[in-house]
Amino acid sequence: MFEIFKDYISGKLIISEEDWAKIGSFAVSKQLHKKDYLLKEGSIRRFSAFVCSGCLKTYRVDDNGYEHITKFSMERSWAGDMNSNISGKPALFSTKALEDTELVLFYDEDFDQICAEVPGFQALMNKDLKVCMSSIESRINVVLSYSAEEKYHAFLEEYPGLSTRIPQYMIASYLGITPESLSRLRKQLAGSRMPLKLMTGS
Amino acid sequence: MFEIFKDYISGKLIISEEDWAKIGSFAVSKQLHKKDYLLKEGSIRRFSAFVCSGCLKTYRVDDNGYEHITKFSMERSWAGDMNSNISGKPALFSTKALEDTELVLFYDEDFDQICAEVPGFQALMNKDLKVCMSSIESRINVVLSYSAEEKYHAFLEEYPGLSTRIPQYMIASYLGITPESLSRLRKQLAGSRMPLKLMTGS
DNA sequence: CGATTCTTTGAAAACAGTCAATCTGTGTGG
DNA sequence: CCACACAGATTGACTGTTTTCAAAGAATCG
């Protein structure tokens, strides 16, 4: 499981075997079953979590009891939101497994130590953070200026393959529309992709 | 002008006079007049910019010619978006001064050198980045789950004092609604705050 | 199976958007 | 100092999309 994390980092940064041993000694494996929480709103998060397999949603429940999904996390990416990662503050969002999920955790102090001691690691995390931030910025642009249909396509591109792994109402929540609207939208899209011979009935 | 930047950092990190001299030698002052660009969509950004006075908007123009504002930057904060700051890629957004604005720029190589040589600076920037990211995540939540009225209040809180410095149609763009809708919303809010005696006419 | 959980569909209502006209304030030049 | 132009704000009538509510149909899971 740690191998998946190692493979992910190795694609971006060359790290000596000695340093890998150090990183490995800090890594904590964690299994979640479907519907288990990685983090609950209001609790304090003291770790970073890398997803090896499975997927999770990060969301908030509003005053009316409606759930709003801000982010999905798939395999080979970091789970959860940064909001919950600012030390000391209670999380505003919850993160929950949507499938059985395998993670590698690094507790904050350990992670800081890795950043400080492994050459290039801090800079890599910094870059990862910037890329991640840039993608959130794009998402704001999507949410503000795209139609429901364009937002749906953006979702399909952002999370390839995810649309068949999770219920549709969660996609709707992520897009900021109702499940009914998404259902109608998809029906419409399917219609426009219909072969001609099927549309020219007597 | 550099003093404002120094004051901003000093509140978060103690830096020796020697290191301040080094930072100062890299800092580049820049003045923008109202309507001047800090960065145009499509060009490549090679610096980080700190706002000492004035304010800017970061935005994108869509295929229909409509402008979508993703972010404002006020004094004592970093200007522009991270998207444009990932080295090498042409910017997706433009950043433009809304008032006469004074900035301090750091070119990428210089900034990297400061991060590498000034103790704690890299970690501080990392933390700033995380805080910034957390605020964008909150914004996604706002945009997705708040009503127009709630979004307007969130804007007022996020950018204290800004609402009277910029035209209303820009606030509307930031909120993702039309200027007409914002106008009606404000009228409604003003009405509900009316003293009772004015609402009980004969 | 039987029971949830999820998706689809319909009709009505609420909401925000569009278009077009009017109003307001500000700054410029005569 | 006034008149005008211009940018921005407001208002009204209309249109269109999305939501809401309710009910019926799939699909999935134990």
Strand B94-97 vs strand A77-78: parallel, antiparallel, or unpaired? unpaired
* A30 contacts A39 by C-beta, under 8 angstroms: no
Of the candidates B70, B130, B145, which has its C-beta nearest A137's C-beta? B70
At B117-139, the pLDDT tens digits run: 999 898 898 888 888 888 888 89
State whether the Cα torsion B172-A154-A65-A47 is positive or negative.
Answer: negative
pLDDT value for A130 = 86
B191 has a pLDDT exceeding 90: no
Which pLDDT band, with edges at 50, 70 and 90, does A197 fall under? very low
In DSSP terms, which residues pair with A57 in a beta bridge?
A72, A96
**DSSP summary character for residue A91:** P
Does the CB of B131 have a partner CB in chain A at under 8 Å? yes
Confidence of residue A144 (pLDDT cuts 50, 70, 90): confident
B148 with B175: CB under 8 angstroms?
yes
Average pLDDT over residues A108-133: 90
What residues contact residue A71 under an 8 Å CB cut-off, 6+ apart? A57, A58, A80, A81, B137
Cα–Cα distance measured from residue A146 to residue B64, given in angstroms and rounded to the nearest whole number: 11
Find, among A141, A169, A144, the residue nearest to A57 by Cα: A169
Spatial contact of A41 and A91, defined as CB atoms under 8 Å apart? yes
Q: Out of B82, B132, B145, name the one closest to residue A62 (CB).
A: B145
Distance from the A28 Cα atom to the nearest Cα atom in chain B, whole angstroms: 23
Residues of chain B found within 8 Å of residue A86, distances taken between Cβ atoms = 130-131, 134
Which CATH superfamily includes the segment(s) A2-118?
Jelly Rolls (2.60.120.10)
Could you tell me where the DSSP H helices lie in B32-147?
Answer: 108-117, 121-145
From the CA of B4, how many Å to the C1' of D3?
45
At a 7 A CB cut-off, the residues bordering strand C are A 167-169, 179-180, 182-184, 186-187; B 147-148, 176-178, 180-181
Interface membership of B143 toward A (CB under 8 Å): yes
Task: Determine the residue of chain A that is closest to B61 in CA distance.
Answer: A145
Report the range of poorest mean pLDDT among B128-142, B149-163, B169-183: B128-142
| Distance between CA atoms of residues A36 and A77, nearest Å | 18
Task: Report the pLDDT averaged over residues B9-34.
Answer: 96
> Which residues of chain B have a CB within 8 Å of the CB of A132?
133
- Which pLDDT band, with edges at 50, 70 and 90, does A202 fall under? very low
Per-residue pLDDT band for A192 (boundaries 50, 70, 90) equals low
Confidence of residue A193 (pLDDT cuts 50, 70, 90): low
The Cα B124–Cα B13 span in angstroms is: 8
| Pairing label, strands B28-32, B101-107 | antiparallel
Tokens of B97: 């001064």
From the CA of A56, how many Å to the C1' of D18? Answer: 28
User: With the C-alpha atoms ordered A1, A167, A78, A88, is the resulting torsion angle positive or negative?
Assistant: negative
Show Cβ contacts of residue A53 under 8 Å, excluding neighbours closer than 6 positions.
Answer: A4, A75, A101, A102
Structure tokens at B85: 């700051």
Average pLDDT over residues A69-78: 95
Which of the four pLDDT bands, split at 50, 70 and 90, describes residue B83?
Answer: confident
What is the rounded CA–CA span in Å between residue A94 and residue A75?
A: 18
Predicted confidence (pLDDT) at residue A139 exceeds the cutoff of 70: yes
pLDDT class of A190 with cuts at 50, 70, 90? confident
Among A83-87, A135-139, B158-162, B169-173, the range scoring the smallest mean pLDDT is A83-87
CB of A9 closer than 8 Å to CB of A78:
no
Question: What digits encode the pLDDT tens for the residues A14-39?
Answer: 999 999 999 999 999 999 999 999 99
Residue type, A160: P
